[in-house]
Amino acid sequence: MLTFLFIAVLLLLCFFSGNLSAQESKRDSLKRAAFIRDSLNKDSIAYALKIRSVARWDARKQKLSPGQNQQFKTDMKNSHSDLFKPQKKFVPDTTLLQDSVYVKAFRIAAYEKAVDDNSNIQKCYWVAAGFGQSSLGFFSIGANVNGELPRRQLITASVIGDTQSFLGGSDETNIGLLYGHIFKQGSFFFTVSAGISYVYFETIDVYLFSTMPSTKTSQSGVGVPILVQGYFVAGQVVGFGINAYVNINSIQTTAGLTFTLALGRLSTHERKITMR
């Protein structure tokens, strides 16, 4: 009898142990499958981003002939035209011609380049000025002059003054030259630029209730300005927007927002072309 009970208990232990091992194995398999699936998704996203970047770079080399450009002008909305198919001579790795992600990204980039290179597209320029809040304390006044370069690149000359108070404190003036890019130019657009600037920092100590004379100290140096401009365009020549800036330097890094009025050629009718 005892032998029978011992064997029965042993069999039950083996059965439950097997079930537990099977469940653990199943859970481990599910975890591994989920990990592999997530890895594949991440790799796919990274791959697509890399391929699109390569396609945009290759498309910069493709240029329409005068005859092709004339054909392009008849239907400037057709981004799917054969004019923008990737050609072997512009593609170092011809195996990419079989990749749908690459081909689609190449077509879009080649189309955008054709729009920019077309002689009918006028470059934009504008002058902007405004005031707002500075991280230095009191307020900020800024003005900039902007000129568009080929392929929506941008050159900007900027002057920004930050002050701590009218009665004294610290003032900083940044005079910079920046290079950047124009994004989504149309009824609304924004730009991102960075460059180099001359920084002049001045501190004035005023003693209001004392016979002591005010004292002034100043420093100057080089800074790295970053400027983001965003505008709503009214009638193509007037824009209302917000400029955000930061100037990184060893004297006093400042940042701020200004509400801005812009005047000039901020948009053209050709910019309103949309890709299908």
Question: Which of 119, 148, 177 is a domain's end point?
Answer: 119
Sign of CA dihedral 189, 195, 200, 203: positive
Q: Which among 223, 224, 262, 259 has a CA at the least distance from the CA of 244? A: 259
Query: Is the domain of 137 the same as that of 253?
Result: yes
* pLDDT attached to residue 212: 53
% pLDDT > 70, the chain: 71
Residue 222 sits in a domain whose CATH number is 2.40.160.20
246 or 164: which carries more pLDDT confidence?
246
Query: Is the domain of 153 the same as that of 114?
Result: no
The parent domain of residue 97 ranges over 30-119
Query: Is the domain of 115 the same as that of 134?
Result: no
Question: Which of 74, 98, 119 is a domain's end point?
Answer: 119
Query: Is the domain of 65 the same as that of 134?
Result: no
Q: Looking at residues 30-36, what average pLDDT do you find?
A: 45
Q: Which among 137, 139, 151 has a CA at the least distance from the CA of 252? A: 137
pTM recorded for the entire structure: 0.58
pLDDT digits (tens, 9 = 90+) for 216-240: 788 999 999 999 999 998 877 899 9
